[in-house]
Amino acid sequence: MLDSNSVQVTVLSDELGVAFGTSGVRGLVVDLTPELCFAFVTSFLQEVCPNTTHVAVGIDLRPSSPEIAKSVLFAIESYGAKATYCGTLPTPALAFYAMQNAMPSIMITGSHIPFDRNGIKFYRPDGEISKADEASIMNGQVSVPSDLVKNTSERVLPVTDAVAIDLFKTRYTSLFPTTLLNGKRIGVYEHSSVARDVIKILLTHFGADVVSLERTETFVPIDTEAVSEEDKLKGLDWAKTHNLDAIISTDGDGDRPLISNEKGEWLRGDILGVLCADYLNATHVAAPVNVNTALELRKPERKVLRTKIGSPYVIAGMEALLLENKEEAPEARIVGYEANGGFLVGSDFDVNNQTLHALPTRDSILPALIVLAMSQEQTKPISQLTDDFPERYTASDRIKDIPTETSRQLISELKNSKMKQVQLLTAIEKEDEELEVVSIDETDGLRMTLSNGDIVHLRPSGNAPELRCYAESSDLQKSDDIVEKILLSCR
């Protein structure tokens, strides 16, 4: 490469409308050009991992991911480092392999967002990059070779190295007995999840009778935090038709789980997180502000740190808890989770006399296996695992294709105007009820606690032009109704 052009990542990013979201770089596929991808990866290596000699790379099943991978691999090689191409695998599998081998990793994935979009997630040798790292990457000045397009267009992806996925399987096969799921009939909603095959392999290893459900070769954007009505009906139908004990699925890159009970009812991610924290006997939990308050109500003695929404903030919260308790409580058992079901392990745990190593990034496999293990060990169906939980129910949904600035303006008006708050709350008031906002939490967006104890939370999505609404109430149907009516009023 004799010629090159010097570019600043933030300038190129602004020109193409591609930027960091709540987790990783996200943008339209047409805007994720070879130049932009090369620039982001080079800046990551220069600014965050300058001494690296080896990088692990993986992709999801989006049709655009292999082409993006070519630019990523070229950037790594141009930097002078070696790349291990791990092919299609879940994001946590790639991250775990890289962390265990003290190397950075790069995952090409758009997670759950529509197939016309994609993205890149970056991991340091010790885990996900921080928001400070994101800023460093954006401010990086890099040299882009003039032969970039020619090189990437002619490039053929290397043969997949299975070392990462094999290590990930061992993480779980070594943790639970092979008889864990004997007698269980479990459906796997495969769609286009990159985790679909490893899930089936693990369930079969543990003795389950596995039923494959709706495998597709086209990409399907599954949002585990806002499950579609269609998928809700599918779950109910599959459970009844196939006589299932559970249904397991994930989002596109396999870091967010979707788990149903024996009735085909999908578990909320924030309740799944509480179950996992209970199973692991976690003493400290970092969780975003939007997750169910059952977390605090269930075990008041458990230390909880509420964060902004997004795995980088949850990871920072776990790190803060670890630092805070390092001297006073070296035995602290630290986890984190999000409303989308992704579960993070912030310290090593002893499980079944085996070590569960820390994995400070979202994982979909561990929470699925934990819930199945709890059901088996307690000899009760999944639907009964939460019978003793406090009656607090959450719901969420979103308005798609709404400009982020429009969402911010709406939230600003609500924050600063009692009249706007009253107008919004009339949509959910019962007859002869006058609701008012008694407290506001601005940790992330606008979270309003109401005079009747219900909670309404609005925020712009960090990944797409969407307005998200979260609600919490003492009644399940009511929380659903609140979300529906509030979003209708915001349109």
Write the DSSP assignment of 461-489 as a string of letters.
Answer: -SSSS-EEEEEEESSHHHHHHHHHHHHHH
Cα–Cα dist 450/490, whole Å: 18
What pLDDT, on a 0 to 100 scale, did the predictor assign at position 22? 74
Q: What contacts 358, CB < 8 A, 6 or more positions away?
A: 345, 346, 347, 348
Structure tokens at 275: 């179950």
Distance from the Cα of residue 374 to its chain's centroid: 23
List the one residue out of 157, 198, 142, 134 whose CA is nearest residue 73: 157
Cα–Cα dist 294/274, whole Å: 8
Structure tokens at 123: 């991991």
Is pTM beyond 0.85? Reply is yes
* 51: helix, strand or coil: coil
User: 185-191 and 105-108 as β-strands: parallel, antiparallel, unpaired?
Assistant: unpaired
- Please report where in the chains the tokens 């800023």 appear, as a residue: 135
Cα–Cα dist 97/106, whole Å: 12
- Classify the C-alpha dihedral 420-426-429-433 as positive or negative: positive
Cα–Cα dist 440/400, whole Å: 25
User: Which residues are bridge partners to 445 per DSSP?
Assistant: none
List the one residue out of 107, 83, 229, 242 whose CA is nearest residue 159: 83
Helices of type H across 280-399: 294-298, 311-325, 365-377
Question: Which amino acid makes up residue 189?
Answer: Y
C-beta of residue 87 within 8 angstroms of C-beta of residue 59: yes
Angle (deg, nearest 10), helices 476-490 and 418-425: 120
- For the chain, 491 residues long, give each residue's pLDDT as a single digit of tens: 445 689 899 999 999 989 888 778 999 999 999 999 999 999 999 999 999 999 999 999 999 999 999 999 999 999 999 999 999 999 999 999 999 999 999 999 988 888 899 999 999 999 999 989 999 999 999 999 988 988 888 899 999 999 999 999 999 999 999 999 999 999 999 999 999 999 999 999 999 999 999 999 888 888 888 788 999 999 999 999 999 999 999 999 999 999 999 999 999 999 999 999 999 999 999 999 999 999 999 988 999 999 999 888 999 999 999 888 766 656 789 999 999 999 999 999 999 999 999 999 999 999 999 999 999 999 999 999 999 999 999 998 899 999 999 999 999 999 999 999 999 999 999 888 899 999 999 999 999 999 999 999 999 987 678 999 999 999 999 999 999 999 999 98
List the one residue out of 261, 224, 228 whose CA is nearest residue 338: 224
Burial 420-457 (b: 16+ CB within 10 A, else e): ebeebbebbeeeeeebebeeeeebbbbbbbbebebbbb
CB atoms within 10 A of CB 43: 24
Cα–Cα dist 323/134, whole Å: 22
User: Which residues are bridge partners to 141 per DSSP?
Assistant: 8
What pLDDT, on a 0 to 100 scale, did the predictor assign at position 2? 41
User: Residue 111 catalytic?
Assistant: yes
Q: What contacts 366, CB < 8 A, 6 or more positions away?
A: 172, 276, 343, 345, 356, 359
- Please report where in the chains the tokens 């933030």 appear, as a residue: 10
- The strand order across the sheet containing 257-260 reads 209-215, 185-191, 246-250, 257-260
**Catalytic pick among 43, 78, 111, 375:** 111
Angle (deg, nearest 10), helices 131-138 and 311-325: 130
Cα–Cα dist 40/47, whole Å: 10
* 154: helix, strand or coil: helix
Backbone angles phi, psi at 186, to 5 degrees: -125, 130
Angle (deg, nearest 10), helices 269-279 and 365-377: 60
User: Which residues are bridge partners to 439 per DSSP?
Assistant: 449
Distance from the Cα of residue 154 to its chain's centroid: 34
Backbone angles phi, psi at 360, to 5 degrees: -80, 55
